[in-house]
């Protein structure tokens, strides 16, 4: 009697792990009506992700504005970049992360890491041209992500 129960328990455990791994990679998505991949989130989750994207855009704006000043405001630029680094991503709800496709998560985390690297580069006094090249590399990923994905609220 114990052996069939153990086999069922192991089978259920394996299925649960497999489903969790699949969800971690695939997220909750479907083809969108505009050719992009539609990521389905609760309205509050979507709002949280979109507000994070706006904060990233404001950080880029802070760096670009700092570069436009003579002399460049290095402290303000560093603060803008650092504020959008990995510290910003540290407290994301794991339930939301499960719903996001792996490629989206990878792009997002790479942007946060690059914001920290940008802040470090500013501190190390890279030239404005080098800083702009870093920003350009990041915004290219932003536009790629926006070309690939869109969010919709679950009803």
DSSP string, 56-124: HHHHHHHHHHHHTSSS--HHHHHHHHHHTSHHHHTT--HHHHHHS-HHHHHHHHHHHHHHHHHHHHHHT
Tell me, what DSSP letter sits at residue 72? -
From CA 55, how far away is CA 113, in angstroms rounded? Answer: 15
For residue 84, is pLDDT > 90? yes
- Which of the listed ranges 28-37, 86-95, 110-119 does the model predict with the highest average pLDDT? 110-119
* Residue 17, C-beta contacts closer than 8 angstroms, at least 6 positions apart: none
Condensed to tens digits (0 to 9), the pLDDT of residues 65-79 reads: 999 988 989 999 999
How many Å separate Cα 46 from the centre of its chain? 13
**Where exactly are the structural domains of the chain?**
2-153
From CA 75, how far away is CA 91, in angstroms rounded? Answer: 25
Question: Mean pLDDT across the stretch 26-49?
Answer: 85
Does 2-153 carry CATH code 1.20.120.10? Answer: yes
Scan for tokens 């504020």, then name that residue.
83
pLDDT mean across residues, the chain: 87
Condensed to tens digits (0 to 9), the pLDDT of residues 9-35 reads: 666 676 666 566 555 555 666 778 899
Between 131 and 30, the higher pLDDT residue: 131
What pTM does this model have? Answer: 0.79
* pLDDT at residue 135 in the model: 97
């Amino acid at each position: 009697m114990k052996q069939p129960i153990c086999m069922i328990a192991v089978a259920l455990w394996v299925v649960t792990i497999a489903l969790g791994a699949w969800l971690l990679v695939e997220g909750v998505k479907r083809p969108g009506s505009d050719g992009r991949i539609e990521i389905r989130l609760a309205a509050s989750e979507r709002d949280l992700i979109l507000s994070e994207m706006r904060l990233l855009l404001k950080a880029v704006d802070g760096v670009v504005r700092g570069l436009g000043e003579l002399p460049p405001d290095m402290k303000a630029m560093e603060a803008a970049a650092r504020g959008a680094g990995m510290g910003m991503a540290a407290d994301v709800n794991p339930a939301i992360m499960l719903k996001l496709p792996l490629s989206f998560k990878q792009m997002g985390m790479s942007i946060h890491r690059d914001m920290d690297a940008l802040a470090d580069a500013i501190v190390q006094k890279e030239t404005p041209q080098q800083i702009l090249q870093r920003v350009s590399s990041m915004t290219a990923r932003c536009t790629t992500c926006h070309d690939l994905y869109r969010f919709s609220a679950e009803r």
